[in-house]
Amino acid sequence: MKVKYIKITTLFFTIGILAFVLVSFKAQQKEPWTSEQLLAPESLAKTIDNPQLHQPIVLCVGPAATIKNSIEIGATREKENLDKLKEKVKNLPKNENIVLYCGCCPFDKCPNIRPAFELLNQMQFKNHKLLNLPHNLKVDWIDHGYPVNN
């Protein structure tokens, strides 16, 4: 009986260690964007507020196109919306200024930004950015009074 208990305890301990290692490895995986590809909300807001500046193509890959002049693609965790994004950008020059955002939740939990950003990487775009909304769209954009669609 004691040997069986030790074997079961050892098995659960081993499973726990493996789970910890897998979670740690996933947390260390590199994001598909670089720190230089994160765009500060204040910077985008200033660009949108100045019609003299070249306006980027701002694409919402989440639930609602809230940012002024942004185009709603839909949640890109869904294949049909990822296909919609691909169709939307396929004829754009590879150096076009594109800004992606979701804002449904914090970056580490967002199911939409990674597939969208990875798609633009695969399509070899050179000037695509991810709007840095580490908390969510309300906290990082709306609460600052940045421009929204009417």
Please write the tens of the pLDDT for every residue from 41-66: 999 999 999 999 999 999 999 999 99
In-domain check, residue 134: yes
As for how many domains the chain has, the answer is: 2
Indicate the length of the chain as a whole number. 150
* CATH number (domain holding residue 35): 3.40.250.10
Tens-digit pLDDT profile for residues 8-32: 655 455 564 544 544 444 444 589 9
In-domain check, residue 63: yes
Question: Which value, to the nearest 10 degrees, does the dihedral of the CA atoms of residues 66, 70, 73, 77 take?
Answer: -60
What CA–CA distance (Å, rounded) separates 58 from 67?
8
What pLDDT, on a 0 to 100 scale, did the predictor assign at position 3? 62
pTM: 0.79
What CA–CA distance (Å, rounded) separates 70 from 103?
13
Query: Do the beta carbons of residue 110 and residue 102 sit within 8 Å?
Result: yes
In-domain check, residue 149: no
What CA–CA distance (Å, rounded) separates 89 from 94?
9
DSSP summary character for residue 117:
H
- Same domain membership, residue 77 and residue 52: yes
Q: Which residue's entry shows tokens 């989440």?
A: 62
Percent of residues, the chain, with pLDDT higher than 90: 77
Q: Which residue's entry shows tokens 């990822």?
A: 82
Residue range(s) defining the domain that contains residue 84? 31-144
**DSSP for 72-117, written as a single string:** E---TTSHHHHHHHHHHHTTS-TT--EEEE--SS-GGG-SSHHHHH
- Same domain membership, residue 14 and residue 77: no
What CA–CA distance (Å, rounded) separates 48 from 8?
61
- Same domain membership, residue 71 and residue 13: no
- Same domain membership, residue 107 and residue 94: yes
Tens-digit pLDDT profile for residues 86-107: 999 999 999 999 999 999 999 8
- Same domain membership, residue 86 and residue 16: no
DSSP summary character for residue 127:
S
Residue 59 is inside which H or E element, if any?
Answer: strand 57-60
